[in-house]
Amino acid sequence: MSRHPSPYRRRTAIAASAVLGLTAVGLNAPAHAVSYGTPTIGLSVSYLSGAVGASGDPVVTVTVAQSGADAGALGVAASASSKPSVAGTGDVTVTGSGATRQLAVAAHGRGYTDLTIKVTGLGGKSATKKLHYAASAAVQNAADTRYFTGSSDSSAAVDVGGGYVVVADDESNTLRLYDRSASGAPVKSWDIGAELGVSKEIDIEAAARVGNTVYWTGSLGNNKDGEYKADRNTVFTTTVTGSGAATRLTVGGSYRKLRNDLVAWDKANGNRFGFAAGTADGEAPKQIDGFNIEGLEFAPGSTSTAYLGFRAPLVPPKAGGKALIVPVTNFDKVAGSGAKAVVGAPIELDLGGLSIRDIRKNAADQYLIVAGSWAADDNSDPYALYTWDGVAAHAPVKRADLPTADPGGWEAVVEVPDLAVPGARAQLVTDAGSADLYGDGTEAKDLDHAEWKKSRAVWFTVGS
Tell me: the pLDDT tens digits for 287-321? 999 999 999 999 999 999 999 999 999 999 999 99
Domain harbouring 158, CATH code: 2.115.10
Q: 132 with 147, same domain?
A: no
Q: 330 with 281, same domain?
A: yes
Instruction: Kindly state the average pLDDT of the residues 322-345.
Output: 98
Which residues have C-beta within 8 Å of that of residue 389, sequence separation ≥ 6? 300, 365, 366, 367
- Residue where one domain finishes, among candidates 136, 164, 185: 136
Which residues have C-beta within 8 Å of that of residue 22, sequence separation ≥ 6? 28
Indicate if the pLDDT at residue 454 is higher than 60: yes
**Span 403-447, pLDDT tens digits:** 999 999 999 999 999 999 999 999 999 999 999 999 999 999 999
Indicate if the pLDDT at residue 29 is higher than 70: no
Q: Is residue 60 part of a domain?
A: yes
Q: What is the pLDDT of residue 4?
A: 46
Q: What is the pLDDT of residue 464?
A: 80
Query: CA 331, CA 310: separation in Å to the nearest integer?
Result: 16
Q: Is residue 120 part of a domain?
A: yes
Domain harbouring 125, CATH code: 2.60.40.10
Q: What total number of domains does the chain contain?
A: 2
Instruction: Kindly state the average pLDDT of the residues 210-216.
Output: 98
Q: 197 with 157, same domain?
A: yes
Q: 273 with 373, same domain?
A: yes
- Residue where one domain finishes, among candidates 85, 101, 136: 136
Q: What amino acid occupies position 369?
A: I
**Span 220-244, pLDDT tens digits:** 999 999 999 999 999 999 999 999 9
Q: What is the pLDDT of residue 377?
A: 75
Q: 259 with 340, same domain?
A: yes
Indicate if the pLDDT at residue 18 is higher than 80: no
Q: 251 with 273, same domain?
A: yes
Q: 103 with 162, same domain?
A: no
Q: Is residue 25 part of a domain?
A: no
Q: What is the pLDDT of residue 236?
A: 98
Query: CA 182, CA 189: separation in Å to the nearest integer?
Result: 17
Q: 193 with 251, same domain?
A: yes
Residue 248, Cβ density class (10 Å: 0-12 exposed, 13-18 middle, ≥19 buried): middle
**Span 339-380, pLDDT tens digits:** 999 999 999 999 999 999 999 999 999 999 999 999 987 677
Q: Is residue 34 part of a domain?
A: no
Closest CA to 154 of 421, 441, 328, 357: 357
Q: What is the pLDDT of residue 25?
A: 39
Q: Is residue 15 part of a domain?
A: no
Q: What is the pLDDT of residue 19?
A: 37
Q: 72 with 156, same domain?
A: no
Instruction: Kindly state the average pLDDT of the residues 132-144.
Output: 97
Q: Is residue 18 part of a domain?
A: no
Q: Is residue 94 part of a domain?
A: yes
Q: 60 with 172, same domain?
A: no
Q: 61 with 208, same domain?
A: no
Helix ranges (H only) for 163-315 are 193-196, 258-268, 275-278
Q: What is the pLDDT of residue 380?
A: 78
Which residues on neighbouring strands pair with residue 177, listed in sequence order?
166, 188
Per-position b or e across 337-349, b if 16+ CB within 10 A of its CB: eeeebbbbebbeb
Give the total residue count for the chain.
464
Residue 153 belongs to domain spanning: 142-461
Per-position b or e across 85-106, b if 16+ CB within 10 A of its CB: ebbbeebbebeeeeeebebebb
Quote the pTM value.
0.91
Q: Is residue 30 part of a domain?
A: no
Q: What is the pLDDT of residue 34?
A: 77
Q: What is the pLDDT of residue 378?
A: 66
Q: What is the pLDDT of residue 12?
A: 41
- Residue where one domain finishes, among candidates 136, 171, 192: 136
Q: What is the pLDDT of residue 263?
A: 98
Query: CA 106, CA 228: separation in Å to the nearest integer?
Result: 45
Percent of the chain residues past pLDDT 70, beyond the cut: 93
Q: 179 with 265, same domain?
A: yes
Indicate if the pLDDT at residue 6 is higher than 80: no
